[in-house]
Amino acid sequence: MEKYVKPYKDSLDGKKKQVSQMFDNISGNYDALNRVITFGMDISWRKNVFAIAKATQPDSILDIATGTGDMAIMFAKTDAAKIVGLDISAGMLDVAKAKVRKAKLEDTVGLELGDAENLPFEDNSFDVVSVTYGIRNFEDLERGLSEILRVLNPSGTLVILETSVPDKFPMKQGYIMYTKYMLPLIGRLFSKDKKAYAYLSESAMVFPYGEKLKMILEKIGFRNVVIAPQAQGISTIYSGTK
């Protein structure tokens, strides 16, 4: 399991509460900073997540850690009848709601405030569950993944997009330097919450990725787990079935 990392090390609050507060604080400029930090590559990675979901011809999709709603809105193009975006941050959901209204998707995309480790849905409720840059923020990773397994329909698909560390030289060394020094600096320059991007940097470095995360997914009960590194491993897409 990953080293336990929290956004605000001087706070006595649990990770879950701290993560909610952190994303409330950075919700206003999260999208712009994401584009800068990933050099815009996260857009193509999200499209790859979309393609995996669409290929299953889902009727229902749950997007956990939906944030500002980009994936949930993109999933509307799958023609799924039911799309739910869930997030623990009210601030992020406020941004997502504005996007959904602008896209005129209020009747298609529902947004809910909720905890990924205590999902407010019945067993076997969704054909696809996605998590984009969210699972490393879970307080209890295995509990969150178990909840996802519970709400997935039999043979349903989980798709995860998460940060990872490249394995090969010189990409690995460059990534480590960028994540350790540049990412927090960009966050300090453009965000009012100076600790938020330091946390995002540190959590990215210690979170299990690749084969380690695959083993955790299989331990929980997912099958047919596929690992698909993006941009030589800067991020990775994981997919598996119930």
Does residue 182 form part of some domain? no
Does residue 26 form part of some domain? yes
Does residue 72 form part of some domain? yes
Interatomic CA distance for residues 117 and 201, integer angstroms: 23
Rounded to 10 degrees, what is the CA torsion of 84, 89, 95, 99? -10
Residue holding tokens 């998590």?
131
Backbone phi and psi for residue 205, each to the nearest 5 degrees, phi listed first: -80, -30
Does residue 5 form part of some domain? no
Say what the pTM is: 0.92
Does residue 94 form part of some domain? yes
Interatomic CA distance for residues 175 and 165, integer angstroms: 7
Does residue 6 form part of some domain? no
Does residue 189 form part of some domain? no
**Mean pLDDT, to the nearest integer, of 183-202?**
73
Query: What DSSP designation does 180 have?
Result: I
CB distance 163 to 133 below 8 Å: yes
What range defines the domain where residue 41 resides?
15-164+208-241
Given a cut of 80, is residue 58 above it in pLDDT? yes
Interatomic CA distance for residues 82 and 75, integer angstroms: 10
The CATH number of residue 33's host domain is: 3.40.50.150
Q: Encode pLDDT of 132-176 as tens digits.
A: 999 999 999 999 999 999 999 999 999 999 999 888 888 888 878
Number of domains into which the chain is organized: 1
**Mean pLDDT, to the nearest integer, of 104-120?**
97
CB distance 236 to 230 below 8 Å: yes
Does residue 64 form part of some domain? yes
**Mean pLDDT, to the nearest integer, of 20-27?**
84
**Mean pLDDT, to the nearest integer, of 184-212?**
79
